[in-house]
Amino acid sequence: MQAPEPNNRTTRYGFLLLPGFSLTPFAAALDPLRMANRLANNELYEWVLLGKGKHPVTSSCGIPFNVTKLKHSGQIDAIFVCGGLQIEDCVSKPIRDWLRMQAKKHVKIGALCTGSYILAEAGLLGGYRCTIHWENMASLMEKFPDLIVSPVLFKVDRNRYTCAGGIASMDLMIYLIARHHGPILANEVAEEFMLERVRDQNDRQPSSLRILLGGSQPKLAEAVVYMEANKEELLGLEEIAGHIGVSRRQLERLFRKYLNCSPIEYYKRLRLIQARHLLQQTNMLVSEIAISCGFNSSNHFSKCYREHFSYSPSSERRPALILN
């Protein structure tokens, strides 16, 4: 951690709440600021909740929040765009224009959960390293192929702060508290929230497999990470085995023993799950999704998709099916 920045005044953050925003990332970002104020016995931080209009904004779990209209936001040191599901529906010209105007004023621009998508739409992530929740990573990179997206918990790159969401928002805020007011206060905040350790921006987002295995099977986890990074250009089993330093037979044995499937079956499952995210989150053609997920034809992709999910790729986009 670098030395704290000189900061003798109250830092003011703006949280731009989008309809259906995820409540956990927002709360995990806000509460460390409150705690820092309490522990320091000083108003180190203040915040304002912002919305495109004057009406309350409802979170993903149905709780409404009163907001201040963007034009009445006042002076802000940093803005955090709080997103959730259906983030593409939240894109609007007034929000894009307001964010661009704030960036021109040298306001730091950030995002929680899927909010990074809005920053990308506004053209505010070009040349910056960024992150987004792992579920939305594929669709973000498909729509904005020039972005430098990293599968980490959060990324602070100059005046851009992006976070994968969930409780990683707390890690981001504790990092910023340490940068502004030093590691002692930051550690005290972490202790109040029962954090065993403060994670930094080099920590990767956990995959379900790494959570399941923990550190017990590092070779298997490494193989899966390698597969996840190569979904469009398929790897051969010999190449995967060589990358992690085992034989092909050892690789197959690891997958059979711990995942109850072959490496080929697991690899295909990864690609189908990514395809499902793209079907749900983008307007890409089925044929385009098939190619981007490593399938050599739409027919082969549709056959595999139906076998795995019990319905066709086109059915994935039918509202009735999604509601069921």
Average confidence (pLDDT) over 130-155 = 90
> How many whole angstroms separate alpha carbon 225 and alpha carbon 268?
14
Q: Is the pLDDT of residue 1 over 80?
A: no
Q: What is residue 127's predicted lDDT score, i.e. its pLDDT? A: 94
Average pLDDT over residues 7-17: 91
Of residues 4, 181, 16, the one with CA closest to residue 109: 16
Task: Give long-range contacts, CB 8 A cutoff, 24+ apart: 252-256.
Answer: 254/217, 254/219, 254/220, 254/223, 255/220, 255/223
Residue 185 pLDDT level (bands cut at 50, 70, 90): very high
Angle, helices 237-244 vs 263-281, to 10°: value is 100
Structural domains for the chain: 11-192 (3.40.50.880), 208-323 (1.10.10.60)
pLDDT tens figures, 216-267: 788 998 898 899 888 888 899 999 999 999 999 999 999 988 888 899 999 9
More confident residue, 278 or 319: 278
User: Residue 322: what pLDDT?
Assistant: 34
Residue 91: CB partners within 8 Å, gap ≥ 6? 117, 118, 121
pLDDT at 320: 37
pLDDT of residue 258: 82
d(C-alpha 249, C-alpha 41), whole Å: 61
Predicted pLDDT of residue 210: 59
Nearest CA to 187 among 311, 195, 234?
Answer: 195
Alpha helices, DSSP H, located in 79-165: 93-104, 115-121, 134-143
Which band of pLDDT confidence, cut at 50, 70 and 90, is reported for residue 323?
very low
Residue 285 confidence (pLDDT) above 50: yes
Place of tokens 């998709």: 305
For the stretch 55-73, pLDDT in tens is 999 999 999 999 999 999 9
In the chain the first and final C-alpha atoms are separated, in Å, by 47
Instruction: Identify the CA nearest to 110 among candidates 26, 200, 33.
Output: 26
Q: What is the pairing mode between strands 129-130 and 148-149?
A: parallel
Under the banding of pLDDT at 50, 70 and 90, the label for residue 137 is confident
pLDDT band at 194 (very low <50, low <70, confident <90, very high): very high
**Structural contact between residues 50 and 84, judged by C-beta atoms closer than 8 angstroms:** no
10 Å CB burial of residue 101 (0-12, 13-18, 19+) is exposed
DSSP 8-state code for residue 258: H
278 has a pLDDT exceeding 80: yes
Query: Other C-beta atoms within 10 Å of 77: how many?
Result: 17
Cα–Cα distance between 282 and 177 in angstroms, integer? 36
Say what the pLDDT of residue 324 is: 31
> Of 16, 20, 17, which is closest to residue 86 (Cα–Cα)?
20
Q: Check whether 197 has a pLDDT greater than 80.
A: no
155 burial type by CB count under 10 A (0-12 exposed, 13-18 middle, 19+ buried): buried
Model pTM score: 0.74
Q: How confident is the model at residue 311 (pLDDT cuts 50, 70, 90)?
A: confident
50 DSSP β-pair partners: 16, 68
> CA gyration radius for the chain?
21
